[in-house]
Amino acid sequence: MGNTTIQLNHDTAANWTTNNPTLAAGEIGLETDTKRIKVGDGSTTWNSLAYYGVGSSFKYGLYTLSANQTSNVAANNHVEFNTKIDGSLNTPSTGSGQENGRITLPTGTYKVTATLFVSGSSGGGITYDLYNVTSSSTINSPLYGNQKTTTYTGNYSNLQPLINVFTVSTETQIELRITGNTNITTICAGSSLLIEEYGGY
């Protein structure tokens, strides 16, 4: 049996964009420089087709505190993240005091990694968890973290990170809620919250 060579329609990304053809249903086009492909449907032009295997854009958001949070650090308050460093998710809510720092998420499954830096008195500690503001309920137990850590006056103590994966079936506002506090006076600038759309990787 002789060898058979299968060759895809191929060109550079720039040329595909310039020519903007309409691929037949099931016809594949390869960008030789990016190695990405599109599959035609018989009616949609190249520039309007999504890349194969890529649906909506990957959603993520990286949030931080730009200054120390020294008020509203008791249990049942939340971390007032006030800066979005990067990402396509919504910016933190703004307002007075505890109106700050909540994130509104569209429907989907997300992985959250939260890291706090705190300081306080000898023997102090803090616990925190993800909270669904929309449904007034704690989000399912974290995969990792949420442990009280001893800190000492003047320390800039990095707590064990909290990692959680959860699904929301409707637009949902969440916060990083403080569930317990003993002698912690400051949640320090640089504390962060990373939210990533999750696909089970």
Q: What does the pLDDT profile of the chain (201 residues) look like in tens digits?
A: 567 777 889 998 889 988 999 999 999 999 888 788 889 999 888 877 777 765 546 788 999 999 999 999 999 999 999 999 998 888 898 887 788 899 999 888 999 999 888 888 877 888 888 999 999 999 976 666 554 444 444 455 666 788 899 999 888 999 999 998 988 899 999 999 999 988 755
Of residues 62, 106, 66, 105, the one with CA closest to residue 86: 62
Q: For position 152, what pLDDT does the model report?
A: 41
Q: Computed from CA positions of residues 78, 79, 81, 82, in that sequence, does the dihedral angle turn out positive or negative?
A: positive
Rounded to two decimals, what is the model's pTM?
0.68
Note the pLDDT of residue 153: 44
Q: Which two tokens stand for residue 55?
A: 């649906």
pLDDT at 126: 86
* Stretch(es) of the chain classified as CATH 2.10.10: 9-52
Q: Which CATH class is domain 9-52?
A: mainly beta
Distance of CA 21 to the CA centre of its chain: 36
Residues of the chain with CATH 2.60.120.40: 60-197
Domain 60-197 falls under CATH 3.40.190.290: no
Q: Which residue has the tokens 């959860």?
A: 166
User: ∠ CA 72-77-82 to the nearest 5 degrees?
Assistant: 70
Res 80: pLDDT: 96
Distance CA 107, CA 15 (A): 36
**Strands (DSSP E) along 17-171, which ranges?**
28-31, 37-39, 60-64, 83-87, 103-105, 108-115, 117-132, 137-138, 157-158, 162-168
Closest listed residue to residue 159, CA positions, set 171, 170, 145, 173? 145
